[in-house]
Amino acid sequence: MKTILSVLALSLGLSGAALAQDQKPKVDAAKLEAITKAMWPKTPQGWEKRISFDETQKLCSQYRNDLPNDLFEKVRARELSTVKFPADGNVIGNWQAGKRIANDGRGGTFTDQPMTNGANCYACHQMDLAELSYGTLGPSLHLYGKNRGFRPEEAKATYAKIYNSMSVMPCSMMPRFGYHGFLTEQQMKDVTALLFDPESPVNK
């Protein structure tokens, strides 16, 4: 009887596992890449450097942004190694310029002419309370610098996060603005100033 029961349990267990696997989507990686290749068969002129599907994107896609611990650390180390700080070590630019850049959502689409890209921070974040049109995909950044005591090391960490968000949080939703060259060094300094200058409306 005991044997029958355990055989029964074993077969139930097996069928249960099979069902669970059945419900999970099974996509052959090669098939998926063939499909995407057919969606974008050729690289548009001028886009050679900006189209990517790098190892980090691949892992974040595969694990749906929830990496196992060992990969988490591996990705973080790899992304951290890409961060380039300004040569003079100063990460604070001009907050007034940063204010314009943060509110500018233009640039970078296939219908845009080549232009200086905006950072579009307000698409996802609350910053200056006077700007009512802000998104909620990211946390509010109001009082960001003040809450961090305007400490230089915090400003530096923030510059690094803007440069490559995944150097802090692998598979972060936030674009890697410096890594991809979407923003210039000066733009990232100006946006850092918007967050860290005591005179910035973000800290009022």
Partner 1 sequence: MAARIARLFVAFALLGIGATVEAQQANPVDTEKELEKYRAMINDPMSNPGYLNVDRGEILWSTQRGAKNVSLETCDLGMGPGQLDGAYARLPRYFADADKVMDLEQRLFWCMQKIQELDTADIVRRRFGAPGRTSDMEDLVAFIANKSSGMKYEAPLAHAKEKEAYAIGEALFYRRSDIMDFSCATCHAEDNRRIRLQGLPNLVKAGKNAQETMGSWPTYRVSQSQTRTMQHRLWDCYRQMRAPEPVYLSDGLTALTLFLVKQGEGGEINVPSIKR
Q: Which is nearer to partner 1, 8 or 77 (CB)?
A: 77
12 lies in the site for partner 1, by CB under 8 A: no
> Which residue lies nearer to partner 1 by CB, 105 or 201?
105
Q: Nearest approach, Cβ of 120 to partner 1 (angstroms)?
A: 9
Structure-token pair, residue 115: 């232009």
Instruction: Scan for tokens 């003040």, then name that residue.
Output: 146
Query: What is the rounded distance in angstroms from the CA atom of residue 143 to the CA atom of residue 128?
Result: 9
**175: alpha, beta or left, given left = phi > 0 and alpha = psi -120 to 50?**
beta
Residue 45 interacts with partner 1 (CB under 8 A): yes or no: no
Kindly write out the interface string for residues 177-196 of this chain, putting x where it contacts partner 1 by CB under 8 A and - elsewhere: ---xxx--------------
What is d(CA 137, CA 204) in angstroms, rounded to the nearest whole number? 22
Buried b (16+ CB within 10 A) or exposed e, 178-203: bbeebbebebbbbbbbbbbbeebbbb
Residue 130 engages partner 1 in binding (rule: CB under 8 A)? no
* Stretch 138-177: interaction string toward partner 1, x if CB under 8 A: ----------------------------x------x-xx-
Using the rule CB under 8 A, give the single segment among 69-77, 90-98, 116-124, 192-200 that binds partner 1: 116-124
The token pair at 41 is: 């068969």
Q: For partner 1, how many residues bind (rule: CB under 8 A)?
A: 43
State both tokens at 75.
């990705």
Q: Which amino acid is at 107?
A: G
Q: Which residues bind partner 1 (CB under 8 A)?
A: 25-27, 31-32, 35-36, 38-41, 43-44, 47, 50-53, 57, 60-61, 64-65, 108-111, 122-124, 132-137, 166, 173, 175-176, 180-182
